[in-house]
Amino acid sequence: MNLTIENIVLVGSILLFISIVVGKTSYKFGVPTLLLFLAIGMLAGSDGIGGIRFDDPKIAQFIGIVSLNFILFSGGLDTNWEAVKPIIKEGLVLSTLGVLLTALSLGTFVWFITDFTIYESMLLGSIVSSTDAAAVFSILRSKRLALKTNLRPTLELESGSNDPMAYVLTLAFLTLVVHQDQSVFSIIPLFLQQMILGGAAGFGFGKLSKYIINNIKLDFEGLYPVLAIALMFITFSATDFVGGNGFLAIYICAVYLGNQDLIHKKTILKMFDGLAWLMQIVLFLTLGLLVFPSQIIPYIGIGLLISLFLILVARPISVFVSLIFFKMRMKRRFYISWVGLRGAVPIVFATYPLLAGIDKANMIFNIVFFISVTSILIQGTTLSIVAKWLGVAIPEKAKRLTTTDLLFAENPKTIMREIAVGTDCYAANKKIVDLGFPKNAIIAMIKRGDKYITPNGSTEIESDDTLIVLADQQKIIDEVYKTLRIE
């Protein structure tokens, strides 16, 4: 069956519905949800029972890039800077040096065991060199793994920030494959340009986005997530237009915004959480439709060999060498090595050789697809088991709540205080979003004369208002008084 304008909505909605229903029960059998989405796409494809013929890498790449925007932006919004700050160096080294070492070691192995040229081998290594943000975010959070000593923030920071490095390496080695007369040193300026411009643009657009969100007055609360989506795409496309790394820019922008006081922040976070799941489903379904299972069969042997080398040798080498100068227990290093999940991102990157038309593009794509599937199947199903075996897991009840956890909770507060705002109070005539209010406290209502107002970030506090404040600890209430400069 060919997809047409008339049936694409019907077919797409049916596949989406099946994915959600099947994914709901998948973890009872220990199967990662993302793998189910991929399998449903393959079953619906031309080699499956659905018979849908879809073989357009350009459309798949476009869907992949749009989906990765939402996935990385949502992951960045949910990144707690206070949790990430202690391990920022480890995370950045893993997402840069670790990715480079993985690409080089795996590329060397591929060069030895195949008839690939050295540049083709390094291209394959680069494509699968980063851990996949969609896989790591969704599997860690759906399994609700509680890990010791900043281990989870390390893994999420690495997976959220290492795609830009893999993207640059993929483009660089693809250029060398296409233009074999160029020197390997010619890719260094491209790398520096992509990373420096991407980082600067991400921070700059983050500050600009905060100003726009907090100062533009929209009549409907539901428009604020739409505004955030527009700013996300502007950040990516503008950075890419000037030659920077758009993926790095949107992640940095999102991390910055996620740790600032924003108007209707709860609405924005919830919206992006749902959109990230939608994009993960759409992405994996699309890639499942794109692949032809019958074409993968000839590469199962070589694909399994490369995948096992990546999981058992290349990934551990990159982690241990990258973290050699950091104080970290050996069990933590082993677990970071094991959570080297590959998923949709390598498959999206594998469409670039297809569009470039290089000789071994189809072989690279099928091997990368097999590597991603085996990684999710082998590593994704054993994260909890390995965590317990290495002793890095903690009981669920001992898990510390993040800011986002508290924000999503329906009623996490247990202490209430009524705070009167005088004419000389610091909060008078200021918007709530500009107060720097403690993140673990909320202004539930404002009593103004005989009326009770339900506030949001844009609400301006007036003198003689009474703030009804909720918090979960007395020390948070004390912080509120300090913030409002009330004795």
Phi-psi region of 302 (alpha: psi -120 to 50; beta: other; left: phi over 0): alpha
| Residue 23: per-residue pLDDT | 62
Residues 6+ apart with CB under 8 A from 6: none
Q: Is 200 helix (H, G, I), strand (E, B) or coil?
A: helix
* Domains 8-398 and 410-484 agree in fold: no
Of 168, 26, 78, whose CA–CA distance to 402 is shortest?
Answer: 78
Element (H, E) at 445: strand 441-448
User: What are the sequence ranges of the domains in the chain?
Assistant: 8-398, 410-484
Written as tens digits, the pLDDT of the chain (487 aa) is 565 666 677 777 887 787 777 666 555 544 567 677 777 888 877 777 777 777 788 888 899 899 989 988 988 888 888 878 888 898 889 999 999 999 999 999 999 999 999 999 999 999 999 887 767 766 666 555 667 667 878 888 888 788 888 999 999 999 999 887 777 777 788 888 988 999 999 999 999 999 999 888 888 888 999 999 999 999 999 999 999 999 999 999 999 998 888 888 888 988 998 888 888 888 888 888 888 888 888 889 999 999 999 999 999 999 999 999 888 888 889 999 998 888 778 888 999 999 988 888 999 999 998 998 898 888 877 887 888 888 887 655 444 444 444 444 444 446 788 888 877 788 788 887 777 777 777 788 888 887 888 787 778 888 888 888 888 778 888 888 888 777 6
d(CA 127, CA 166): 6
- Topology of the domain comprising 8-398: Na+/H+ antiporter like fold (1.20.1530)
Residues 333-351, buried b or exposed e (16+ Cβ, 10 A)?
A: bbbbbbbbbbbbbbbbbbb
- Is CATH 3.30.70.1450 what the domain over 410-484 is classified as, yes or no? yes
- 130 phi and psi, to 5 degrees? -105, 150
Task: Give the span between the Cα atoms of 145 and 147, in whole angstroms.
Answer: 6
The Cα–Cα gap between 22 and 39 comes to 11
Q: Where are the alpha helices (DSSP H) in 220-329?
A: 223-241, 246-258, 265-290, 293-296, 300-309, 315-322
The pLDDT assigned to 17 comes to 81
pTM: 0.78
